[in-house]
Amino acid sequence: MRAIPGAAVAAAYMKLHNGGPQPVRVTGVRSTVAGHAMIHETQLVGGLSTMRAHESLTIAPGASVALEPGGLHVMLEDLAHPLAVDEQVPLELLLEGGGRVEVRARVRPLSAE
């Protein structure tokens, strides 16, 4: 994640890997620091960058999916407070079938890669 001073939104990036024998489907995201959290996708359409909600994300057995700038990412809206550099933001990935995966995203300076 990158800290954006004064912003009420933030994006989280990560790499998801399915080491199991069955596909894994991420159906949603939650975070205690945001009123809304969801998987979003940035696309270039007609030379313009657009963002849209991505309903679910299926990861094949043995495969990885990168959530990165300019593509899929976790979008956090209605932040409870401005995010600070080095803050650890809790995220909960909701899986089809009721499973959950908890991760923490470290907030980096806006200039970070």
Residue 15, Ramachandran bin (φ over 0: left; ψ between -120 and 50: alpha; else beta): beta
Euclidean distance between the first and the last CA atom of the chain, given in angstroms as a whole number: 10
Task: Tell me, yes or no, whether 37 lies in a domain.
Answer: yes
Q: pLDDT, tens digit, for every residue of 3-33?
A: 788 888 999 999 999 999 999 999 999 999 9
pLDDT interval class at 49 (50, 70, 90) = confident
CATH number of the domain to which 83 belongs: 2.60.40.1890
Domain count, the chain: 1
**What's the whole-model pTM score?**
0.87
Written as one letter, the residue type at 4 is I
- Its domain, for residue 41, covers 9-106
Element (DSSP H or E) covering residue 94: strand 88-95
Rounded distance between C-alpha atoms, residue 82 and residue 56, angstroms: 27
Map tokens 């409870």 to a residue: 80
Residue 4 domain-assigned (yes or no): no
